[in-house]
Amino acid sequence: MSITDTIRTAFAALTANKLRSSLTMLGIIIGVSAVITLMAVGQGSQKGVTESIRGLGSNLLFIRPGQSQASNVRAAVYGGQSLTLVDTDAYAINDPERFPYVEGVAPQIDFEAAVIAGGESTRTTIIGTTPDYQYVRDFYVRKGQFLSDDDISRKGLVAVLGQRVAETLFPDADPVGKSVRLAVGPGGMIVFNFRVIGVMEPKGATTTGDEDDLVFIPLPTMQARIPILRNPQGLSNVFQISVKVRDRGDFARAEKEIAALLRERHNVDKDDFVILSQTEVASLKAAETEISQTLWAAMAAIAGISLAVGGIGIMNIMLVSVTERTREIGVRKAMGATQGDILMQFLAEALMVTLAGGGIGVILGISLSMLANGRTILEQSVRADVSAVSIILAFGVSAVIGLFFGIYPAYNASRLNPIEALHHE
Amino acid sequence: MVKLTNITKVYLAGDVPVPALRGINLQIQAGEFLAIMGPSGSGKSTLLNILGCLDKPTSGTYDLDGLEVSAFDEEQLAVLRNHKIGFVFQSFNLLRRLPAIDQVQLPLLYRKVAHRRHLAHQALVDMGLADRMAHRPVQLSGGEQQRVAIARCLVTSPALVLADEPTGALDTRTGHDIMRIFERLNVERGITIVIVTHEHEVAAYAHRTVHVQDGQIVSDEANSSPNRSSTAAEPSLGGGAASEASTP
């Protein structure tokens, strides 16, 4: 029998019993759509973590104030910092003679403030930093320019806006060259006028927060204008020093030598700073999402089981169908159908059920993923990312299930004795 | 055309061998119209199955159109059935869900042939079913169903038509109609026909009658006065069960 005739015959047999065929298909539809949706959510959260780690820039060490006990690492990451680091520490690290593997150093102070321009206002984080920040954090200005060495030495009243801040304050206009006001201190009492010199590229959320919701100003400007940031020695405290290291292989050496330098400068026995590598920061953040990823993976595995159950359902129905149609098989054999013809006919039926079910399941799975994307489920914001791999996998698995669970009933059918089959009641 | 030599068939009932055929020798010439008669369990169905290449003899040789069938494997037998044999059954054995035109095309699905629909259409027209093409079995009378089955058997132009109690499920009048069709096919087209029956009235249409008993041929005689169409309307032609008792 030709392939088209086999397919036509199988199709006719399936449409002859539509309810049964649909119910048989349902198991596969549910299994495939569940696998695709859950894999999409799992992959989405994985991708979110990966991207936020990549968003930090590459080969970074972070130096933060605080004690170095392991239990304090968390505190250092999440705040509660004491003020032990100063801007001159950063300048000392940026010494190519002593630390040839250091490619860039960016000290920073973060401060909450209201930014006002025209009638618009938003509350955001102000970061006082140096021109190196762009290169160190791999985060560049898109329009205009970033802070220059000249801005640093003049303690200029210039600001670079993050993408979202720019959009909020200047929805219709080009912010570059415009003026914004920063209101800091209790009740926003201290107000400065800044000139916008640039807008950052969009970057999205990373492990250190939403990087589009920031405003950058020169570090010395911040220190000069906000006296509470100065410490008793007359130096300026910084909250974090980001150090870009040439190569990952230099991490251990860099950590050790920078620690030695800081101990020497601070003249302490017990470290009053913490050095974290990029991966340490990322892994702490990742640990939070890891739990949810495990959950999604477990759910996807359960969905996989439902797919197998769907396959068993198909086998069951195929066995019933073969028994019901014993006489038909006998007639076909008497008419000259070979064992191969009968085997292919029933296999084609099983395959068509699973492939049709798989196809509907894929469409349903993609729809569900699109529906879930961006919503909050189980107190987590869900990001669903349907990959071509999961679609091919789900489709392939349905085909394999059709073959695996269809072949036994089809083989049984093909082996029927035509004489007995013809006399079957 | 058909030559059976020393055909035996032994079935196993558990471990006990049960002989169904014990040394059948039979020759059928092309264009013959033969009836095989015999009581239940005589082996006539086994004989028909072997003639129809549905079953293989335990020993002996079967020569069909010059082919030594007893040496064939399953696959070859299937192809042989498709090309040489046409079956007509007591219970019609039509597929429940197919319209007549598709029923008739069924054997053609298993061979490479063009114009399937056309051939099937012609076969149904020959059976006087031109207006029944799209009807499913439930929409057809018993006689019409058997005519669809005959069309299905003829569409492949078989060398040998085997009919197993073809009137057994039909009323007397329809039974005669069907037998007249076989008669016409034999006379007008020269098709070789073998009918298994236990009704003398049915066997009377054949030109030769073979009696089988206990797996052996006990008589083989020409029918000097075959039941012609003119005498066909005998009221004595009974249903299957009723005439069982009258079988010798």
What pLDDT is recorded for position A282?
67
**% of chain A exceeding 70 in pLDDT:** 84
Q: Which residue of B lies nearest to A4 if distances are taken between CA atoms?
A: B109
Q: Which of A3, A4, A6, A335 to mutate to test the interface with B (most CBs of B within 10 A)?
A: A335
Residue B134 per-residue DSSP state = T
Chain A residues within an 8 Å CB radius of B74: 338-339
What pLDDT is recorded for position A78?
44
**Residue B62: inside a domain, yes or no?**
no
Give B154 to chain A, closest Cα distance, Å. 11
Condensed to tens digits (0 to 9), the pLDDT of residues A36-93 reads 888 888 777 777 666 666 666 668 888 888 754 444 444 444 444 456 788 888 888 8
Task: Pick the closest to residue A241 from A274, A282, A272, A281 (CA basis).
Answer: A274
- Interface residue B54 vs chain A (CB under 8 A): yes
User: What value of ipTM does the predicted structure carry?
Assistant: 0.88
In chain B, how many domains are there? 1
- Residue, of A376 and A392, whose pLDDT is higher: A392
- Interface residue B97 vs chain A (CB under 8 A): yes
Task: Pick the closest to residue A78 from A239, A244, A204, A226 (CA basis).
Answer: A239
What pLDDT is recorded for position B223?
84
- Residue, of A379 and A298, whose pLDDT is higher: A298
What pLDDT is recorded for position A382?
72
What pLDDT is recorded for position B138?
94
- Interface residue B75 vs chain A (CB under 8 A): yes
- Residue, of A294 and A112, whose pLDDT is higher: A112
**Residue B63: inside a domain, yes or no?**
no
- Structural domain that includes position B94: 31-54+73-239
Q: Which of B49, B54, B138, B161 to mutate to test the interface with A (most CBs of A within 10 A)?
A: B54
- Interface residue B55 vs chain A (CB under 8 A): yes
> Are A335 and B81 in contact (CB < 8 Å)?
yes
Condensed to tens digits (0 to 9), the pLDDT of residues A285-323 reads 666 566 666 777 787 788 888 888 888 989 999 999 999
What ranges do the domains of chain A cover?
A: 3-53+287-422, 83-271
**Residue B234: inside a domain, yes or no?**
yes
Q: Would you say the C-alpha torsion A94, A98, A100, A101 has a positive or negative sign? A: negative
- Decide if pLDDT at A412 tops 60: yes
Instruction: Please give the Cα distance from A218 to A154 (Å, whole number).
Output: 9
Chain B residues within an 8 Å CB radius of A418: 54
**Residue B140: inside a domain, yes or no?**
yes
**Residue B203: inside a domain, yes or no?**
yes
Instruction: Please give the Cα distance from A300 to A287 (Å, whole number).
Output: 20
**Residue B151: inside a domain, yes or no?**
yes
- Residue, of A211 and B205, whose pLDDT is higher: B205
Chain A residues within an 8 Å CB radius of B110: 1, 332, 335-338, 341
Per-residue tokens: A5: 């005739």
Give B130 to chain A, closest Cα distance, Å. 23
Give A337 to chain B, closest Cα distance, Å. 6
Q: Which of A5, A340, A418 is nearest residue B109 as measured by Cβ atoms?
A: A5
Q: Which of B75, B97, B106 is nearest residue A335 as measured by Cβ atoms?
A: B106
**Domain CATH code at residue B211:** 3.40.50.300
Q: Which of A9, A338, A419 is nearest residue B54 as measured by Cβ atoms?
A: A419
What pLDDT is recorded for position A97?
85
What pLDDT is recorded for position A381?
65
Instruction: Please give the Cα distance from A363 to A394 (Å, whole number).
Output: 11
Instruction: Please give the Cα distance from A396 to A393 (Å, whole number).
Output: 5
**Residue B170: inside a domain, yes or no?**
yes
Averages of pLDDT over runs of 10 residues in chain B (248 residues) are 94 89 94 93 92 93 92 92 94 92 94 89 94 94 95 93 93 93 92 92 93 94 69 40 38
Q: Which of A328, A333, A422 is nearest residue B78 as measured by Cβ atoms?
A: A333
**Residue B45: inside a domain, yes or no?**
yes
- Residue, of A178 and A377, whose pLDDT is higher: A178
Chain A residues within an 8 Å CB radius of B98: 12
Instruction: Please give the Cα distance from B78 to A128 (Å, whole number).
Output: 88
Condensed to tens digits (0 to 9), the pLDDT of residues B132-152 reads 999 999 999 999 999 999 999
- Residue, of A268 and A325, whose pLDDT is higher: A325
What pLDDT is recorded for position B48?
93
What pLDDT is recorded for position A211?
77
Give A421 to chain B, closest Cα distance, Å. 11
What pLDDT is recorded for position A209?
62
